[in-house]
Amino acid sequence: MLTAFRAFSRSKWAAALLVLIAISFVIVGARMDVFSNLGPKHVIDAGDRSMNEAEFRTAFDQVRERLQQQVGRPLTNQELVAENIHVRFLTEQTQQLGFLNWAYKAGIRPGKELIVKQIRQIPAFFNSVTGQFDQQAYEAALAQQNLTPAMLEQDLRDQYATEHFGAAVFAGARVPRIYGALLAGSAFESRDGRWFEVTPAMAGQIPAPTDAQLNAFIQENADRLRAPEFRMVSVVLFTPEASANAPISEDRIRERFEFKKDTLSKPETRSFVTLTAPNRETAQKIAAALRAGQSPADVGRANNITPAAFNETPRSAIGDAATAAAVFGLQANQVSNPVQAGVGFAVAKVTAVQPAAPATLDSAREEMIQELRAEDVKTQTYAKVEKYEAARTAGKNLADAAREAGGRIVDLPPFTKDGKLPNGQALNAPPQIFETAWSLTKGGESDVIDAGQGQYFAVRVNDIRPSALPTLAEVREPLAAQWIQRETMRRLSAKAEELTTRVRNGEDIAAVARSVNAPLTVRTGVIRNQQTQEALGQGVLQGLFGQSKGQAFSQPASQTAYVVGRVDNVRAANPAVAGPLAEQVRPRLTQELVQAMVESSVSAGAQRSKAKNDPAQALSALGLSGGATPAAPAQ
């Protein structure tokens, strides 16, 4: 198929088809422009900020990609919408855009220098040959992520504005001591209590379930018991021959090294500090102070300027050309004259000079060998792919074409849509195999799939095992055990509640315990910690610390028992013990308080901006339909 497409693209028919497509875009585009004059359709409106369908779709695709990495399987927009993830994301984005609109109007505006410096630190934006910042590489790298320079720069401005606002809120914040005291007092409070266990013997023997009861149990737990759909497939793998690992000739190694020598060499770098002043007079004072031996930090404090430090920075990574020329015209410990920069006047002090280090063939030899060997592997692999496609085009089936091309056929074990084996373990295979298998019907054979990194495969679906509930005969024994367990806990719960009611009505808990021949446990000074939980159990702790003095409780103690008890006394924490903890937890409480303050501020900013969204437009952006009405303004 790939070969056929390449052959077609070189034909005269392809050129004619492209002309027709271009004409159709002109016609359709013109009509669309007419309708667009009726007003833009925004998914989010927040004052001067907005998000259209394309921007929302791009942002949501990034969310989906992150979730796919977390769960280890492909996810569709339909699945995410079913979990209301799109609604939560839409709400968060509405709040964020509303806040950023307010922040800009309030004067929280990061300087251009911050944005340029951040961009110039990203290696992907530099030319691999010259080592200099490359505007085309910058735009191409962003385009691969469906971004534009304007979008990235706006995103960086938004990040800085949010971070600076959060830092301002956090500065000097500290919760009152009473907050820590309340938490410490609760942590070191102790309780006295008595309790006993209600065991299955007290609830009576559970008879074996009937077939009717088990079948009903299967239906009640259908979602949990239903086996997923499995697919059995054969995969054609295209792997290189052993000759791909043959020695690489010296001529090829040297030729590749000469081609890449410039990119392998390390350019000359400088470590330096810059201080940018608003006018030339202040910049001259800064230069004089630095030459007099004052540190950049002291000079910056004296002039209310924050120094910017650069460590081992090549000339190409310095955003301002005039500053770069000044820095690379200095030696170590020299200070430049004031330089007219893009914003203000810059003074630079060079702290260290790192000379250029040209690459040598010996140092790069192994890298060149590995690179050439990888290319040979890809070349051999793709030769097999082309031979396979030619055989398929000639009418041969998947198995015959694979044999002719030298491909290897592997039968995979049954797996689910998310790539799980019948035992629940993940099948170690590229996700494209799972996607392809679920796009075919039984007996269907795929075209060659490019899995990236020089890997190709083709899939044939041999059989499909539909999703189904197990028969009673298949699960009788474990199902009967689960049914008995459920009925036992039901009886235990009812018995425990009966005994707890007697305690609540005033009967002494010791007498209640004796009536069912249960040993009574008496404990004083019980505190909440890991050691106590392991010794007494979570149920006892929840009961003791979940009730007031004199109250009775009933809690599950395990999968086969309940606990019934009474809180006899509550003892306040010792101030000498709780006091230090109260101080220790204040920083954490402060952080949580500041986080809540920032979230409230974001919500208030969005409300000031009258931020709103359109859920129906969001669904449309994701290629789905829905009858949702516009959401209420941000609260």
Architecture of the structural domain at 266-357: Roll (3.10)
- Between the alpha carbon of residue 615 and those of residues 47, 55, 84, 620, 622, the distances in Å are 18, 15, 11, 9, 11
Residue whose structure tokens are 């599950």: 556
8-state DSSP, 314? E
CA angle 475, 480, 482 (to 5 degrees): 100
For residue 453, what is the enclosing H or E element?
none
Name the CATH topology of 230-243+365-465: Chitinase A; domain 3 (3.10.50)
Q: Identify the pLDDT of residue 244.
A: 53
Nearest 10 degrees: Cα torsion 172, 178, 183, 185:
150
Taking the C-alpha atoms of residue 202 and residue 197, their distance in angstroms, rounded to an integer, is 10
Cβ–Cβ < 8 Å for 286, 276: no
Q: Which residues pair with 26 in a beta bridge?
A: none
Summary count for the chain: helices (H), strands (E): 26, 15
Any idea how long the chain is?
635
Ranges of residues in the chain whose predicted pLDDT is under 50: 1-39, 627-632
Architecture of the structural domain at 190-220+476-571: Roll (3.10)
How deeply is 152 buried, as exposed, middle or buried, from its count of CB atoms within 10 A (0-12, 13-18, 19+)? buried
Tell me if 230-243+365-465 shares its fold with 266-357: yes
For the stretch 503-516, pLDDT in tens is 999 999 999 999 99
For the stretch 275-319, pLDDT in tens is 988 888 989 999 999 999 999 999 999 988 888 888 888 887 887
- Between the alpha carbon of residue 122 and those of residues 252, 264, 265, 327, 396, the distances in Å are 32, 18, 19, 21, 49
Q: Which is it for strands 561-571 and 612-613: parallel, antiparallel or unpaired? A: unpaired
Half-sphere exposure of 507 (CA within 13 A, CB side): 14
| Average pLDDT over the chain, rounded to an integer | 84
> What are φ and ψ of residue 546, in 5° steps?
-105, 0
Please report the DSSP string for 500-523 in residue order. Answer: HHHHHTT--HHHHHHHTT-PPEEE
pTM listed for this prediction: 0.47
How deeply is 49 buried, as exposed, middle or buried, from its count of CB atoms within 10 A (0-12, 13-18, 19+)? buried
In 10 A of CB 358, how many CB atoms? Answer: 11
Instruction: For the chain, give the percent of residues with pLDDT over 90.
Output: 34
User: 254 by DSSP, 3-state: which?
Assistant: helix
Phi-psi region of 274 (alpha: psi -120 to 50; beta: other; left: phi over 0): beta
Domain ranges across the chain: 42-171+599-622, 190-220+476-571, 230-243+365-465, 266-357
Q: Identify the pLDDT of residue 594.
A: 83
Instruction: For the chain, give the percent of residues with pLDDT over 70.
Output: 90
